[in-house]
Amino acid sequence: MKVLTVVSHPRKDSLTFKVADRFVQGLAEAGHNYEILDLHGIGFDPVLKGADEPNWSASEQTFSPEVELEIKRMKEHDALAFIFPVWWWHLPAMLKGYIDRVWNNGFAYGLNHLHHQHVLWMGLAGVSKEQMKKRSYDEMITHLLNVGIADYCGVSNSKVEFLYETLDSNPSHYELLLDQAYRLGLNYNKQV
């Protein structure tokens, strides 16, 4: 598979990027091709403006050059992975804006749907598994990503994985998280 791996974090030296590096290492060892898309690195603008507003009355729509470029990039891959910190029990604004603008009517939903076989959402949570479950945040996020976004856009093989307690400064805990990311890459098409 050719996996577009979208990473959303403002710092390249973050745990999010270390997780992304280990994830794609696993992908490569499993024989997959990949491309890392660093949304902050390319200067992606997450704000939906008029040119990218869904036109419900048109059968086809031309979007802004930035969105057309990202649609082209998505078409070159047959699977997706998203790696991001969980902020306020949701996607970071940058990643939410990417989905708002790029996963647009006529491409991702409406008359057409995404052609991608699999999508994996990897959320780095600063809290423990128990804290995520306490108010069903894990279920809420999982339902939103798997059903509200992926399934709505035609991707039935969607999975959410959380990496917990990412604010723990213990190096051995970080190694466990990085190993989890590696295994998710290594077993990508078996788990999703």
User: What digits encode the pLDDT tens for the residues 70-112?
Assistant: 999 999 999 999 999 999 999 999 999 999 999 999 999 988 9
Number of domains in the chain: 1
Question: Does the pLDDT value for residue 192 go beyond 60?
Answer: no
Please state the φ and ψ torsions of residue 33, each to the nearest 5 degrees.
-95, 155
Residue 191 has a pLDDT of 66
- Average of per-residue pLDDT across 100-125: 95
Q: What are the tens digits of pLDDT across the range 159-176?
A: 999 999 999 878 899 999
Label residues 144-161 b or e (16+ Cβ within 10 Å = b). bbbeebbbebebebbbbb
CA distances (Å), origin 7, targets 21, 129, 143, 156? 10, 22, 21, 22
Mean pLDDT rounded to a whole number for the chain: 96
CA-CA distance, 83 to 161, in Å (whole number)?
A: 10
Contacts of 21 (CB under 8 A, 6+ apart): none
Compute, in degrees rounded to 10, the torsion defined by CA atoms 126, 13, 65, 47.
40
Query: pLDDT grade, residue 142 (50/70/90)?
Result: very high
CA-CA distance, 8 to 59, in Å (whole number)?
A: 31
CATH at 85 = 3.40.50.360
Q: What are the tens digits of pLDDT across the range 128-139?
A: 999 999 999 999
- Average of per-residue pLDDT across 52-80: 94
- Find the domain containing 141 and state its range: 2-191
